[in-house]
Structure 1
Amino acid sequence: MTAVMAVALAVAGATARVLVAMLFLAGAMGKLRDLENFRTVLANYRLLPGRAVMPASLALVLAELVLAGGLIGWPRLAAPGAIALLLLFAFAMRVNIARHRDFIDCGCGLSSRRGISNGMVLQNLTLCVLLVPVMLPLAPITGFALANCAAAGVLLYLIIQIFGEMAALRVPRNRTPAAWSQI
């Protein structure tokens, strides 16, 4: 691997870990604000038996919090778990899209309700790919370069939030807003 490629991978990984940490932290905080609603959202995915929804909802929130902190403090240890969680979210969304249940709330922890989409699945898969360099034995990014990566991660987080909120404003084709509450 060339030195330039190694630096590019390290920068991509450092930026991605800040981005994903912020997504997990914001998601967990949103879910904690209304845990009962998140349990309903999780049940609406119809992937778990009823008695497993409450412990799974708590486990998901805890996993997001732990992984958010881990991506900042112990990135090489936390990256595999973050990738696994993103893949789990992508899988759950894709299963429901295949069931034509794209109108259910994504459960991202945001204030607005938005349905799931293949774009969200692709976003999660892209984040997984971007986290792979974090697990590689690359020279660490430090100093001003690390600050730039953190700023880029924050900026990407804000862009994703803006586009997510804009997507929540759209009414899905052949669906009325009333259909969103009918599960």
Structure 2
Amino acid sequence: MVASIGTDTDAEGYDAIVNLTTSLNGMSDQPRDTQERTRLILQSLFPAWLPPAFKVMFSRPLPQLSCRLNAWVTMMTCQWLMGPCKVNDFEREDGSIARGQGVLVERCRYLEETGCASVCLNSCKVPTQDFFGKDMGLPLTMAPNYEDFSCQFSFGMAPRLQAQDDAFQTPCFLQCPSKRRHNAAQKCPGASTL
């Protein structure tokens, strides 16, 4: 993150991640810039060969197994970032049930600590969906709930167009640092204009 942003923070641990993420989110007035920069950070967490190999060896030939595998790996490795979560089933748009292909984040620590829907959308939801869809070959829909701070990950389900996704229609939180920085705009920067 420090290399991507070009600056560091004096904070340590989780507070450092929050500070760096807030800095990243404020670097550009264009949400797409933040999303692409975050996707590059996600790519840097893996050996360069792994996402394309996963796409060829797992996502394409074994999509359900890939969804279940990614649900379990996400649940087991990301609780430090997102808080308590569990693998779950979810209902697809056609009414069928995707068994063991979802992850429910019970109360997203990342969203709660940053206090900003714009950070959620541009530094988490969109780049993570793009990373899984484009780099790993596995569609992912993330559905944050801005009332209780939960988030449903649905592996194998393609994200809706942003104009049809309720997450992009949310007003800023009262304590939103992006809102304060952008003179109390009605919506978080980029939330409804992506």
Q: TM-score, normalised by structure 2?
A: 0.33
More helix by share: 1
Q: TM-score, normalised by structure 1?
A: 0.34
**Greater Cα radius of gyration, structure 1 or 2:** 1
Greater length-normalized contact order (CA 8 Å, ≥ 6 residues apart): 1
More strand by share: 2
